[in-house]
Amino acid sequence: MNFEVRRLGGADIEQMRALNALFAIAFEDAASYHLNPPGDAYLAQQLGDDRTIVVAAFEGSNVVGGLVAYLLRKLKQERSEIYIYDLAVAEEHRRRGVATALIEALHPIAAEVAAWVIYVQADHGDEPAIALYTKIGSREDVMHFDIEVGEH
């Protein structure tokens, strides 16, 4: 399969919408992605922010995979981390190196921003993701907690 991987920028609104549509299918979460979609100005602002990193894989003009990562600047040392928040590949394009290429595209970005690590979490039972991340990184077992914001 021939595909191109590139970072999206502020002008790539339609490509980001296509990636969000792919995420909705891959994560089986249409409500989160379709009920209240962000406006063009918001997407342009986020895609233009150096702390938001979106890398997409294209087959021609079609988005076939992508990831959204965030740059986290640390205060304990002058360094940063990159956290991969979402990563998905269209089902018909899986097992063809797309996810690996997306993650590899983060390496020069990480070097440019002096990030010392790229990290990602996987859900228990998501064996394909766990296998991929085990192949390219070292595992660290942690617990994740969601803290409700609520009304104050």
Contact indicator for 106, 117 with CB cutoff of 8 Å: no
Residuewise pLDDT in 10s, the chain (152 residues): 589 999 999 999 999 999 999 999 999 999 999 899 999 999 999 999 999 999 999 999 999 999 999 999 999 888 899 999 999 999 999 989 999 999 999 999 999 988 999 987 766 666 666 666 666 677 676 666 666 787 65
> Which of 3.40.630.30, 3.40.50.2000, 2.130.10.10, 3.90.1580.10 is the CATH number of 4-136?
3.40.630.30
pLDDT confidence of residue 146: 66
Degrees to nearest 5, angle at CA 123 with 119 and 124: 125
pLDDT confidence of residue 120: 78
pLDDT confidence of residue 121: 74
